[in-house]
Amino acid sequence: MHLSLEDLIAVRDGEARADSARHAASCPECIAELSRLRSLREALAALPDEPPSRDLWPVVKARATAERQHRIWIRVGWVAAGLAAVFTLLIGVRGAIEAYVEAKVARQAQALIAESQRLEQELHASERQGRVMSGRTAGTVVQLEDRIAYLDSRLSRAEGERFPSQEILGLWQERVRLLDALVSVEATGTTYVGL
């Protein structure tokens, strides 16, 4: 019983089982077949290399350059897209922050307007009582009323000219402070209110 071709190749390659190797060492036909297998391997390995019929380096170089440029453009595209996204995000965040601040200022302004209206009602109630005041107190009242009138003119101009909200808020805060002082003067006859 001789070895199969697969077993003979395994013997040739040093990968055969021990019994196959023993048989191949003593069987003249298998030895001859092994010799033929080795010769064929040598014949195949001796086949000469053959260069391509045309120079392909310029083609490879051109394709590599084109690939590199393509990759650069893709990278530039991604960077541009990233920058656009960041810019959009910044605008969005900025818009959101501005909207939040605006809303907060508006709430504060509404509170100040309400306080201002309450103080004016209190002032009118005090005036209806027709309290007598000294000349110096009357001077203080006039001074306060002048300043309130000036503030009112600034407020109407600010709203017409779209002043920044913080500035309008400051004017309303000042108006409330002056009204509060005026109410105090009217009520107590104070002549000095630290203006």
Q: Which residues bind other proteins (CB under 8 A)?
A: 1-6, 8-10, 12-15, 27, 29-30, 33, 36-37, 39-54, 56-57, 59-61, 63-64, 67
The least distance separating other proteins from the CB of residue 67, rounded to whole angstroms, comes to 7
Q: Nearest distance from residue 66's CB to other proteins, in Å?
A: 10
Could you tell me which residues come within 8 angstroms of residue 191 by beta carbon, excluding any fewer than 6 positions away? 134, 136, 137, 139, 140, 185
CA gyration radius, the chain: 50
- If the CB atoms of residues 27 and 193 are measured against other proteins, the closer one turns out to be 27
The CA dihedral of 14, 17, 22, 25, to the nearest 10 degrees, is -30
Q: DSSP string spanning 28-54?
A: HHHHHHHHHHHHHHHHHHTSPP---SS
Please give the span between the terminal C-alpha atoms of the chain, in angstroms, as a whole number: 126
Shortest reach from residue 92's CB to other proteins, in Å: 39
Closest CB to other proteins among residues 15, 159 = 15
- Minimum Å gap between C-beta 9 and other proteins is 6
Q: How far, rounded to the nearest angstrom, does the alpha carbon of residue 43 sit from its chain's CA centroid?
A: 67
* Closer residue to other proteins in complex, CB, 11/183: 11
Which residue, 33 or 186, is less far from other proteins as judged by CB? 33
